[in-house]
A and B are shown apart, each in its own frame.
Chain A
Amino acid sequence: MKDKKFIISGVIVFLILATFPFWYNRGKAAPAPEVELTAKAKAAKVCVRSTDYMKAEHMQLLDVWRDSVVRRGDRIYVSPSGQEYNMSLSNTCLDCHSNKAEFCDRCHNYASVRPYCWDCHIDNPKENS
């Protein structure tokens, strides 16, 4: 037990270093982003599912849509409200949500995710036309 003071001070230094990011950034949490809706999206009022569902599960929904459209050719989505939608990211989703920078990107950047949807799907069907 002769090295007690070295061990304890070592442990303290380690704890300080390991928790440094937490206390250094304390109270500086980035505020949750506000997304903006386009006029068209506002007018539509509802998305294909409820807003909460879309916020949490849109990626799963898109995954199901993709498999259905590409593999089986079934392209009509009847939402719980009974409305029919063409299952298309380019032509349905991005037609309403044509403001990628203010809608998609804000949340994706906040959550630090980099989906590669827009490598192929054209991000803004109306802009640059």
Chain B
Amino acid sequence: MDSSRRRVLQLLGLSSLALTARPVLNAVAAGGGGDENPAPVIKPNDKALTAKQWAMVIDTRQFESVDDVEPLVEACDSIHNVPHFQNKRHEIKWIWEAHYHNAFPGKAARFMSEEVEHRPFVVLCNHCENPPCVRACPTKATFKRESDGIVLMDFHRCIGCRFCMAACPFGARSFNYRDPRPFIKEVNKKFPTRMKGVVEKCNFCAERLAEGRLPACVEASEGKLIFGDLYDPKSEVRELIRTNYTIRRKQVLGTEPAVYYIV
């Protein structure tokens, strides 16, 4: 009786020791395999442009007709594979032209300058500092990037609920009601398309900034659009905002848009 109890206790002790030894052995086996010695490193591109909060100043004084806006839209659409649907209800918009009354509702004075009223206004996602779309997204597919303030989308994660579209006061988001591929005039193979059932919008050309290039619309605008860091007091955008009277879209809503308009 005595010896069998002792035996059982010995076995229990040994087996518990064996259980704790197992993970150690596994770790040694995995580590000792000499798989690939230096671990891979992930780092940002040295050429990447960085900022605390990217912002854009649009000098609307330099826009006379829709012809001034079209190259900008074209540059964006061709780079980002934005489809062109005949049906207005399916339209996908990243950057587009809007009338003063639609861009700045409530800001039109009676008998206001006709020249200003009939200017084409370039509108796009405002990359708000307090973005309502991000709060609405149930999957965190859309998020405000900590590093540079861009309101970005992870299309992999978008479930197409369209809460963000309801939340955005600027109509800057579009939904792919149909597979967009057949409606892309010329596919840019360096940039993915989207699929049916996801929302999309302007990404402030995050993929170009990562390579040290300015957004496509800024490049195509020949100085009508100015891009820079809102929190760098020496940046060109800050200089323009300081020295010119600028307005922002629906500022009263408190979303703090990062796109400023010189009127």
Contacts and interface: CB of A to CB of B under 8 A. Distances in A.
Contact of B42 (A87, A90, A119, A120): A87
29 contacts: A48-B40, A53-B36, A64-B42, A66-B156, A73-B147, A73-B148, A73-B206, A73-B209, A73-B210, A74-B42, A75-B44, A75-B48, A76-B42, A76-B43, A76-B45, A77-B41, A79-B40, A80-B36, A80-B37, A80-B39, A80-B40, A87-B42, A89-B192, A90-B192, A91-B190, A116-B195, A119-B195, A120-B193, A120-B194
Contact of B44 (A50, A53, A66, A73): A73
Interface string A64-98: 10101011111111111010000101110000000
A120 to B, nearest CB: 4
B40 A49 contact: yes
Contacts of A120: 155, 192-195
- Name the 4 nearest CB pairs between A and B, nearest first: A80-B36, A119-B195, A120-B192, A78-B41
Nearest to B187: A122
B145 interface: yes
Contact of A71 (B37, B45, B145): B145
Given A50-B36, A80-B36, A73 B145 contact: yes
B147 A72 contact: yes
Contacts of B210: 73, 75
A interface, size bucket: 20 to 34
B223 to A, nearest CB: 27
Nearest to B180: A120
Of A53, A75, A129, most B-chain CB atoms within 10 Å: A75
Contacts of B145: 71-73
Interface of A: 48-50, 53, 64, 66, 68, 70-80, 82, 87, 89-91, 116, 119-122, 125, 129
Q: Secondary structure at chain B's binding surface: helix, strand, loop or mixed?
A: loop
Contacts of B155: 120
Contacts of B147: 72-73
B155 to A, nearest CB: 6
Given A49-B36, A66-B156, A122-B189, A71 B143 contact: yes
Nearest to B81: A122
A69 B127 CA distance: 19
Contacts of B42: 64, 68, 74, 76-78, 87
Contact of A78 (B37, B40, B190, B191): B40
Interface in B143-198: 143, 145, 147-148, 152, 154-156, 187, 189-195
B38 interface: yes
A118 B82 CA distance: 17
B255 to A, nearest CB: 22
B204 to A, nearest CB: 11
Nearest to B153: A70
Given A53-B35, A80-B39, A90-B191, 17 more contacts: A49-B40, A50-B35, A66-B156, A70-B156, A72-B44, A72-B145, A73-B48, A73-B206, A75-B45, A75-B48, A76-B43, A77-B41, A80-B40, A90-B189, A90-B190, A121-B192, A122-B187
